[in-house]
Structure 1
Amino acid sequence: MSDRLDKGKEWFDKVYGEGKSEGLIEMQTGLGQDLARFGIEFNFGDIYSRPGLSLAQRELLSLASLVTIGGLEPQLRGHTRGALRVGCSPTEILETVIHTVQYCGFPKALNAMRVITDELQLQGQEIPPALGPGE
């Protein structure tokens, strides 16, 4: 196992839980396992492990990026769980989605809000109430 892979697995497991990096690789078949390994090495071994941002900040940035791309519901669910695991509150997560609307538009933001709200509820989290007009 390479140092990059070891480092990537360490950081991946910090975000998603012990042994989850192995699960990501094992859920793939054949060459798909190589792709999962590349993702762990690069995304977590090279990027997430860098200094300068906390894991919570990285997860909120990941969520914002996924919202603006759109159509990545499984990744939104996974990064919502990751964000909770590294200490983000439901309010921080949902406000991140609200912040993206100015860049990606209402359809993507509303779709993401539904996916993330559903995942938060599945994780036993209380959904913050609406602030209402002008608040």
Structure 2
Amino acid sequence: MNDRLAKGKAKFDEVYGEGKSEGLVGMQTGLAQDLARYGIEFNFGDIYARPGLTLAQRELITLAALVALGGLEPQLRGHTRGAINVGCTATEILETVIHTVQYAGFPRALNAIRVVTDALIEYGVEIPEPLGE
């Protein structure tokens, strides 16, 4: 295993849990496993492993980017779990989605907040009460 892959697997497992990097690769078939490994090498071995931001900050930024792109519900669910695993609170996660509305628009933000809220509930995280009236 090359250094990038080893570093990427370690960082991926730090975010998602022990052995989850192997699960990501294992859920793919044949050549598709190469793409999963490339993602682990680049995204987690190169980008997530950089100094300067905490894993919690990286997960919140990732959630914001996924909301803005739209249509990436499986990744949004996964990164919601990752955000919880690295110490983000439900409030931080939900406020990140709310913050994106000014850039991504209401349809994307509303779709995303439903996915994120459902994921938080599924993971047993208490959902904060609304601030407005």
| TM-score for both structures, normalised by structure 1 | 0.97
For 1:31 and 1:63, locate their aligned partners in 2 and report how far apart those are by CA, in whole Å. 28
Mapped partners of 1:69, 1:54: distance in 2: 23
One-letter identity of the residue aligned with 2:40? I
For 1:32-80, what per-residue CA distance to the aligned partner results, in whole angstroms no more than 9, with x for missing partners?
A: 1000000000000000000000000000000000000000000000000
Q: How do 1:21-100 residues align onto structure 2 when only pairs under 5 Å count?
A: 21-100=21-100
TM superposition shift of 1:31: 1.0
Q: Which residue of the partner structure matches residue 11 of structure 1?
A: 11
Aligned residues: 133
Quick one: distance in 2 between partners of 1:48 and 1:116? Answer: 21
Aligned with 1:10: secondary structure? helix
Q: Report the residue type matching 2:68 in the other structure.
A: T
- Gaps (5+ residues) in structure 1? none
Give SS of 1:65's match.
helix
Q: Which residue of 1 aligns with 2:111?
A: 111
> What RMSD, in angstroms, separates the aligned Cα atoms of the two structures?
0.5
Quote the Cα distance in structure 1 between the aligned partners of 2:117 and 2:75: 14
Letter in 2 for 1:95: E
Tell me the amino acid that sits aligned with residue 86 of structure 1. V
What is the CA-CA distance between 1:81 and the residue it aligns to? Answer: 0.3
CA shift for structure 1 position 102: 0.5
SS of the residue aligned with 2:99? helix
Please state how far the C-alpha of 1:29 moved relative to its aligned partner: 0.4
Three-state SS of the structure 2 residue aligned to 1:109 is: helix
Unaligned runs of 5+ in 2: none
The amino acid of 1:41's aligned partner reads E
